[in-house]
Chain A
Amino acid sequence: MGSITLDHVTKSFGAVTIIPDISLDIRDGEFVVFVGPSGCGKSTLLRLIAGLEDVSGGKIMIDGADVTNAHPAQRKLSMVFQSYALYPHMSVRGNIAFPLKMEGASKEKIDEAVGNAAAILNLTDYLDRKPRQLSGGQRQRVAIGRAIVRQPKAFLFDEPLSNLDAALRVAMRLEISELHKKLGTTMIYVTHDQVEAMTMADKIVVLNAGRIEQYGTPLELYSKPANRFVAGFIGSPKMNFIEGAEAARFGAHAIGVRPEHFTVSQEAGSWKGVVGVAEHLGSDTFLYVKSESGDQLTVRTSGEIPVRSGETVHLTPMDGRVYRFDAQGHAIAG
């Protein structure tokens, strides 16, 4: 079991409030990603759940038990840090065994658990090496191994892949997702990378300035963003926003269209514009178009289309794919 509940949790450092008031329910076995720009409070929130920071107000409950003032170790959670945080003086075996040693487990139990974890993570051949003799990906696996052996109620990941190169990041992303399927344990994962969030999460919490902007499944966030912030943050490239007369025509203060929701024509369409830069990737074509009304629009079409820089194109948003927002940035329903 590993359900986690935050009840009106607040956190301030001196006069600076990082988290004004957050309530959140995470169900047992869910993979929840906290995502948001730098400084939005996502790491702080994770550290509050871990017990590495004290809350300024509110309650944290794990499986219904109040752990607000409990020591990190008593919360039975495991954490994987961005810096791996391996014990440099211990071998891989020593690192993975450490949590069990602290529990006072028997030698047989430790050996078995370390063997299992190493097998799951392909670390069997490296058990006697020191962390400094491992590559970045292997180190991160050791950190995950150390987290697994405790059989925690939930795993906490604090931007675990940001120190890895792009290719390795994709591979590790898959590994973590597979691990979640295999273990079925609750996972909370912090990242600023919305692609990681979209690909891994059962549910995403979008945070901004210490507030939850929206909590839902990746596709809910993509297709029904609650406000302009979420609409702009989820999706890559970012959603195009158009204000002024054109938005007013749709009965909104601003409208948003995702780059992949345009049809491009060289003859006719809703908005006319000139292509500034055209990027041809083969699988996709990205166009950066300056519209007649002066808006800078990003367009993504799948496959190759024969449009060059400097040419005029006509863009039409697809039916039902125009998002409308009021002056406060809230989405207008319907």
Chain B
Amino acid sequence: MARAISTRRKIAISAIAWLVAFLIFFPILWTFLTSFKTEGTAIQIPPKFVFFEWTLENYVTVQERSNYFRHFSNSVITAVGSTIIGLLIAIPAAWAMAFSPTKRTKDVLMWMLSTKMLPAVGVLVPIYLIFRDLRLLDTHIGLIAVLTMINLPIIVWMLYTYFKEIPVDILEAARMDGAGLRQEIVHVLTPMAIPGIASTLLLNIILAWNEAFWTLNLTTTRAAPLTAFIASYSSPEGLFWAKLSAASTLAIAPILIMGWFSQKQLVRGLTFGAVK
């Protein structure tokens, strides 16, 4: 009897899980499908799900009208650039806080996190003015700087939790074994921390890639990443759902593929320390 109930329960839970997963995935699927419809079919009520005339016309138009590859390379430059600079700052910071904490370490961490609680729009005007005066508007450097700063608290926190899990005993053992600071970092700490650094890196690239608020407000053409590319299809000439969907699909495809291949690493990074 007990087994019968548990099997039924398992089926029910699986069904609910699949349903929730489908609901979450549905917008992406719908965007993908819409990108292959004509503008007419795209706004048709009732909507057509799969049985419509598939066309690549939107992708061709999007290619003709705007330079996908320029936006793509801007996205790569800003996401990778801000991630590398972020890691260069965050690794020593997290390292110091994890291995030689002081009375104020927890306060510093909380303060860093608290900066994420302020709505971005609250500092839009001052940042915009600073960027204007420093001539950083619509530049890669400016965008990298702002993306680094907004993601830094999260990277520091993630790395801090990860480093905390490395037993101090092992570092002390290395010291006893004759390792100097440099050897300790190269031979012991870094190899043990690589999985944590890798998952932080991946997550940060995703966050930077998808960031829309600052990229839309601080760039126009030269440094505009894919988020700006999507946005350019949303308003000026009325709504073109099919073209917007094609642009969106092109914009999210690279990060989706990267996320798919690195999902094991990402899940480990996000849930690290939650369970032993």
> Chain A interface (Cβ within 8 Å of chain B)?
50-52, 71-73, 77-79, 81-83, 85-89, 98-99, 101-103, 146, 150
Contact A81 B173 (CB under 8 A): yes
Q: How far in angstroms is the closest Cβ of chain B from A247? A: 46
With A52-B175, A98-B187, A150-B178 already in contact, the answer to whether A83 and B167 are too (CB < 8 A) is: yes
In the bound complex, CA of A102 to CA of B182 (Å): 11
Check B183 for interface membership: any CB of A closer than 8 A.
yes
**Chain B, residue nearest A50 (CB):** B176
Given contact pairs A86-B170, A87-B173, enumerate 7 new A-B contacts (beta carbons under 8 Å).
Answer: A72-B172, A73-B175, A79-B176, A81-B169, A87-B174, A150-B177, A150-B178
> Chain B interface (Cβ within 8 Å of chain A)?
167, 169-170, 172-180, 183, 187-188, 191-192
> Could you say which residues of chain A place their CB within 8 Å of the CB of B170?
85-88
Contact A103 B178 (CB under 8 A): yes
Q: Interface centre among B176, B180, B183, B187, by most A CB within 10 Å? A: B176
> Could you say which residues of chain A place their CB within 8 Å of the CB of B188?
87
**Chain B, residue nearest A101 (CB):** B187
Other-chain contact of B180, A51, A73, A79 (Cβ < 8 Å) = A73
> Could you say which residues of chain B place their CB within 8 Å of the CB of A73?
175-180
> Could you say which residues of chain B place their CB within 8 Å of the CB of A101?
187
Q: How far in angstroms is the closest Cβ of chain A from B163? A: 15
10 interchain pairs, CB-CB under 8 A: A51-B175, A73-B176, A78-B177, A79-B176, A81-B169, A81-B173, A83-B167, A85-B169, A86-B170, A146-B173
In the bound complex, CA of A102 to CA of B179 (Å): 6
In the bound complex, CA of A122 to CA of B167 (Å): 27
> Could you say which residues of chain B place their CB within 8 Å of the CB of A150?
177-178
In the bound complex, CA of A79 to CA of B187 (Å): 19
Contact A89 B192 (CB under 8 A): yes
Question: In the complex, how many residue pairs between chain A and chain B have their CB atoms under 8 Å apart?
Answer: 61
In the bound complex, CA of A300 to CA of B31 (Å): 83
In the bound complex, CA of A88 to CA of B188 (Å): 9
Contact B169 A83 (CB under 8 A): yes
**Chain A, residue nearest B176 (CB):** A79
Other-chain contact of A102, B169, B178, B191 (Cβ < 8 Å) = B178
Contact B176 A78 (CB under 8 A): yes
Contact B175 A72 (CB under 8 A): yes
Contact B191 A89 (CB under 8 A): yes
With A83-B169, A102-B183 already in contact, the answer to whether A88 and B192 are too (CB < 8 A) is: yes
Q: Interface centre among B170, B172, B173, B183, by most A CB within 10 Å? A: B173
In the bound complex, CA of A81 to CA of B170 (Å): 9
In the bound complex, CA of A37 to CA of B169 (Å): 22
Contact A77 B176 (CB under 8 A): yes
With A98-B187, A102-B183 already in contact, the answer to whether A85 and B173 are too (CB < 8 A) is: yes
**Chain A, residue nearest B103 (CB):** A14
Contact B192 A98 (CB under 8 A): no
Other-chain contact of B172, A52, A71, A102, A103 (Cβ < 8 Å) = A52
> Could you say which residues of chain A place their CB within 8 Å of the CB of B172?
52, 72, 79, 81, 85
> Could you say which residues of chain B place their CB within 8 Å of the CB of A82?
169
> Could you say which residues of chain B place their CB within 8 Å of the CB of A86?
170, 173
**Chain A, residue nearest B172 (CB):** A52
Q: How far in angstroms is the closest Cβ of chain A from B30? A: 45
Contact A99 B178 (CB under 8 A): yes
Other-chain contact of B177, A52, A83, A88, A102 (Cβ < 8 Å) = A102
In the bound complex, CA of A320 to CA of B173 (Å): 48
In the bound complex, CA of A320 to CA of B81 (Å): 82
**Chain A, residue nearest B175 (CB):** A72
**Chain A, residue nearest B181 (CB):** A71
**Chain A, residue nearest B166 (CB):** A88
> Could you say which residues of chain B place their CB within 8 Å of the CB of A88?
170, 192
